[in-house]
Structure 1
Amino acid sequence: MTATRTLSWPGGTVTVSSLGGMIGPAVFLLDNGRQVSPLHVAPWWNEPESRDLDGMHRNLRGEWPCVPFGYPVDRDTFPAEWKPALPVDDHVDYVHGYASNHNWTFLSVDGDAEVAMEINYPGEHPVRRLERRIRPSKGTGLEIDLKIDVRRNCSLPVALHWCFALPDVPGQAQLLPGGFSSGATYPASLAPGAELFAPGRSFSELSNVPARIGLATDATRLPFDRNVEELLQLNGTDGHFSLLNRHDAYRVDLTWPAATLPSVLLWYSNKGRQFAPWNGRNLCIGIEPCRSAFGMSPATCSQPNPLSESGVPTSLDLPTGKECTFTYSIQVSPL
């Protein structure tokens, strides 16, 4: 049974769900008196058919941690240089990890200044436990602590899966990445018929990404004016990323520890997936600080792969006896 907790303060109201530990919906009260809701909630979340989905897809919204991050891909669609890193019979029990698909337990806290929660992994899993604490920060923002405790030494891909709502009018939102050393397009097709970027290419500016048709496309202006389902990865980031929603006149600023999560995976879900439950209606941008190779499976990310061999870390070393703890944040402000 999914439970919720609500965090309310003068700068906003945020709902936290036990399923996946997900944040959302959220309303922030800006300095100019306007209320805005930047976090995405999947359009099928309350439909009867969603009961048959796995926990993550059923509750898809706002933000949650993915430990381990990723899922297997169809290796037959990937170029030859990737195949050695793609196991033939790859399998994960849960897309984006156990914690993304199961109920967390809310912890007792003093007062109502934060929401705390934990989840214990099955005994055979290398991860023992996750804990996170969510609290208001700087008026119209949130600060989040994540703690990872493992049973045995392991190296796993990890991500923070932010999903943001987009306006319906093309081009009315803008992505403003912080500094990054290089960008890479997805090596294959994420959703046949909804491609936009040339596969397996590098770039230095998000506004000038190699395109499948034509020379380049601006990947900062959203939503696109056509159905698109794509991934881009920015590597060597400085731990900052901003989203401007000009239609609703607000700005979102994200920060995270770049030493731990040096990359950002951008998930362009622009009504590209036509099968259920997506049905050509999901419109959001995923901004996902990570240590990963395009959200591919743990088996791929924890072994040598073309991205890691280029110098990009794709998994996080987690030793026993030393909890991995870090803090990240979101700030919402008027334009």
Structure 2
Amino acid sequence: MTDWARITAGGCEIALDPALGNIRRFLVAGREILHTAHWVGTDAAPLAGAPVDQHLAGDFFAAPFGASDVVDAPNHGWTANSHWSGVTRSQDDDHAEIRLTLDRDVMGARVSKTLGLRTGEAVLYQTHEICGGQGDLTFAHHPMFRMEAGGHLAFSPKRVALTTAPALEPAHLLAYPARTTDLTAFPAQGGGVFDLTRYPGATGHEDFVTLVEAGGAALGWTALSRSAEGDIIVVLKDARVAPVTMLWLSNGGRDYAPWDGRHTGVLGLEDGCAAGALGHAAACGDNAIAAEGAATALALGADVTHTMRHAIAVFDAPDGFGRVRDVVLDGDELRVKGAGDAVLCMAFDPAFFAS
């Protein structure tokens, strides 16, 4: 913890672990927004496996996403499992930034990361650049949130939600494979439907489902309204670069160590360019996600730079606000619309997604 790089602005703080490149903490008014698995920092932490799993917490950038079957890398790639260096910080009265670069190449590409905060906003800004390289590369962000007493999810328009076979774990609620255009009625195992806009329900399942952004979208978003925490978390992405949002529903379905059935009510909101859980090799060719009209890998090149922009905004939820109906970026303001005429507003960097 003493080696974490930190920045603050207003009432917010980011703490990043350069040993893995992971955002370990995002504090808003002293309250932790991101999830940390119960074994992290204890004797129960696994000694084997990828470092990202041993230290499962916060948000990390996976490139390639998931278990790679193309390059020699641990689960979620070297971007989430190895050292980043050249840490520089800048700070003034209005904003703070951390910049750093991955020590290793990824398929010959250099990867850099910039994290930012701005005074008067509860927003974590995150930019990654992948420069050069060769081949096709998947990626995804991986912020994790825990819902102590459940809540609601709302999404920018999606063309389809789908699962691919096999399921992650024997204990699952969704059907594999399956698809629907109605996010409130995803096919469930053994019949019936599962509402993807409500989570969690009964514990004892582990599920993974991919949502494909509607055609032509520039901005994608997910709004997570948490009942016990009394907040609304809005996760925003550049949908032109990250056309899928993958939901990891980790709700007690892994009864083996170090999970021990205790990892409950956790939601991973994984925005990226990937073929869901199918793997890197599948994402480079024909696959079920690509068949829905979404790109599933980035084409690297010697003179090519890919820029991924991602933001997490946190609002206090007023009584009676209800479910999120829409999220709009209008100039220098982020607006979240609720029941009736209710609207929450926060200042937002107008240049962040405009580039």
TM-score under structure 2 normalisation? 0.81
Residue of structure 1 in register with 2:114 after alignment? 133
Matching of residues 310-321 of structure 1 within 5 Å: 310-321=292-303
SS in 2 for 1:52: coil
Residue of structure 1 in register with 2:33 after alignment? 38
Shift of residue 195, structure 1, vs aligned partner: 1.0
> Whole-Å Cα distance in 1 between the matches of residues 178 and 186 of structure 2?
9
Residue of structure 1 in register with 2:97 after alignment? 114
Shift of residue 92, structure 1, vs aligned partner: 4.6
Residue of structure 2 in register with 1:189 after alignment? 167
Residue of structure 2 in register with 1:82 after alignment? none
Q: Deviations over 1:193-230 (max 9, x none)?
A: x1101111111122211111332121222222121100
Matching of residues 124-203 of structure 1 within 5 Å: 125-137=106-118, 139-152=121-134, 154-167=135-148, 169=149, 172-192=150-170, 194-203=171-180
Q: Do the aligned partners of 2:87 and 2:99 also contact (CA within 8 Å) in 1?
A: yes
Instruction: Indicate how the Cα distance of structure 1 residues 100 and 161 shifts in structure 2: closer, same or farther if over 3 A, else same.
Output: same
> Whole-Å Cα distance in 2 between the matches of residues 41 and 264 of structure 1?
21
**Aligned pair 1:59/2:55, yes or no?**
yes
Equivalent of 2:229, from 227, 239, 248? 248
**Aligned pair 1:225/2:221, yes or no?**
no
> Whole-Å Cα distance in 2 between the matches of residues 223 and 135 of structure 1?
31
Query: Which structure carries more relative contact order (alpha carbon 8 Å, separation 6+)?
Result: 1
> Whole-Å Cα distance in 1 between the matches of residues 71 and 45 of structure 2?
23
Give the letter for the 1:101 counterpart: N
Give the letter for the 1:110 counterpart: S
Residue of structure 1 in register with 2:353 after alignment? none
Structure showing the higher helix proportion among its residues: 1
> Whole-Å Cα distance in 1 between the matches of residues 2 and 279 of structure 2?
27
Q: Deviations over 1:227-267 (max 9, x none)?
A: 11000100025411110111111001111110111010000
Shift of residue 326, structure 1, vs aligned partner: 2.9
> Whole-Å Cα distance in 2 between the matches of residues 207 and 93 of structure 1?
37
Residue of structure 2 in register with 1:212 after alignment? 189
**Aligned pair 1:234/2:211, yes or no?**
yes
> Whole-Å Cα distance in 2 between the matches of residues 38 and 200 of structure 1?
32
Structure 1: tracts of 5 or more residues without a match = 30-34, 73-86
SS in 2 for 1:295: helix
TM-score under structure 1 normalisation? 0.85
Q: Do the aligned partners of 1:70 and 1:295 also contact (CA within 8 Å) in 2?
A: yes
Residue of structure 2 in register with 1:19 after alignment? 19
> Whole-Å Cα distance in 2 between the matches of residues 91 and 272 of structure 1?
29
Shift of residue 297, structure 1, vs aligned partner: 2.1
What is the percentage of aligned positions where both structures have the same residue? 23
> Whole-Å Cα distance in 2 between the matches of residues 2 and 210 of structure 1?
46
SS in 1 for 2:303: coil
Give the letter for the 2:316 counterpart: P
> Whole-Å Cα distance in 2 between the matches of residues 301 and 191 of structure 1?
21
SS in 1 for 2:91: coil
> Whole-Å Cα distance in 2 between the matches of residues 176 and 161 of structure 1?
18
Shift of residue 14, structure 1, vs aligned partner: 2.0
SS in 1 for 2:276: coil
Give the letter for the 1:8 counterpart: T
> Whole-Å Cα distance in 2 between the matches of residues 291 and 259 of structure 1?
10
**Aligned pair 1:257/2:252, yes or no?**
no
Shift of residue 66, structure 1, vs aligned partner: 0.8
SS in 2 for 1:195: coil
Q: Do the aligned partners of 2:164 and 2:277 also contact (CA within 8 Å) in 1?
A: no
> Whole-Å Cα distance in 2 between the matches of residues 12 and 36 of structure 1?
9
Supply the RMSD in Å over aligned alpha carbons: 2.1
**Aligned pair 1:281/2:270, yes or no?**
no
**Aligned pair 1:331/2:326, yes or no?**
no
Shift of residue 23, structure 1, vs aligned partner: 1.1
Shift of residue 24, structure 1, vs aligned partner: 2.3
Residue of structure 1 in register with 2:289 after alignment? 307
Q: Which moved more, 1:139-148 or 1:103-112?
A: 103-112
Equivalent of 2:67, from 71, 74, 78? 71
Residue of structure 1 in register with 2:42 after alignment? 47
Q: Do the aligned partners of 2:82 and 2:103 also contact (CA within 8 Å) in 1?
A: no
SS in 2 for 1:300: helix
Residue of structure 2 in register with 1:81 after alignment? none
SS in 1 for 2:136: strand
Residue of structure 1 in register with 2:344 after alignment? none
